[in-house]
Amino acid sequence: MSRHVVLTGGASGIGAAALALFTAQGDRVTVIDRHDPGPMANAWIEADLSDLAALPALDPGPEIDVLVNAAGLPPRPGLETTILRVNTQALIALTEQLLPRLRPGGAIVNMASKAGGKWRQNLVQVQRFLTMDPKDDLAAFVRDERIDPVRAYDLSKEAVIVWGLSNLARFRDQGLRINAVSPAAVATPILDDFMTAFGERASKGVEITGRAGRPEEIAQVIRFLASPEASWVTGCNIECDGGLTAQLEFAALTATEG
């Protein structure tokens, strides 16, 4: 059965790979992106997701089966507030806006990241961020909390994971599933930004796994989580990173002292 998929960030990288997979299986895809996703999309809504005031005008059509929030910005100097807006606040605002249109049985898939993996340790700050009204002064928050571009990115993804978990029951009551996808390095146009911003943290990861992930490999996980075959999968954060997180966590747990 052809489903209606709304996909942010479908013009490039992981989102574009997801667009190709959804289209290949016969789904109708509405892409929300500031760039043209090309002819594979059934519809393109041109939007800058950093402009929260513009979101209410976005109209992807009546009923939605799947919402994939893939749009995101990497750590870049000076973009701290924009990263938090696009990666988290716009994702939340758009999801809440589209919620009444999501059919029971539907699925929400959010792009998080390995960079958001320390959400447990940073929960207090994550919750301070998540309880902000989008109209609050984000620049002041960034300044007061001394948030640099890397912390902005990490926080933005921690918050995506935490927001999904804190709404899991509410969405289940509406017949919806919500999951997050957390890759480490993926070979997309923003990989260089990650390698520059994260430095050794990123290069060591690629060294351990032998290569970066491919956008198609991440898109397959998105496709599965969005599919009826994943009907009993909700509230998960899938670390599709070639085993990097698992390997590092196990090594830390089993490290002997001395």
Other CB atoms within 10 A of residue 214 CB: 15
Using CB under 6 A, which of the segments 22-30, 126-134, 162-170, 190-198 binds ligand NAI?
A: 190-198
Task: Find the shortest distance in angstroms from Cβ 202 to ligand NAI.
Answer: 8
Asked if residue 221 binds ligand NAI (CB under 6 A), the reply is: no
How far is CA 191 from each of CA 48, 119, 141, 185, rounded to the nearest angstrom? 21, 22, 27, 7
By CB under 6 A, is residue 11 in contact with ligand NAI? yes
Residue 86 contacts residue 138 (beta carbons within 8 Å): no
Angle, helices 200-209/191-198, rounded to nearest 10 degrees = 120
Rounded to a whole number of angstroms, the minimum distance from the CB of residue 143 to ligand NAI is 22
When binding is defined by CB under 6 A, the residue of 45, 190, 208, 236 that contacts ligand NAI is 190
Instruction: Tell me whether residue 47 or residue 244 sits nearer to ligand NAI (CB atom).
Output: 47
Q: Which of residues 45-64 bind ligand NAI (CB under 6 A)?
A: 47-50
Q: Is 236 left (phi over 0), alpha (psi -120 to 50) or beta?
A: beta
Nearest by Cα to 242 from 161, 183, 201: 183
- Please give the residue ranges that form the binding site for ligand NAI (CB under 6 A): 9, 11-15, 33-35, 47-50, 70-73, 86, 111, 113, 183, 185-186, 188-191, 194
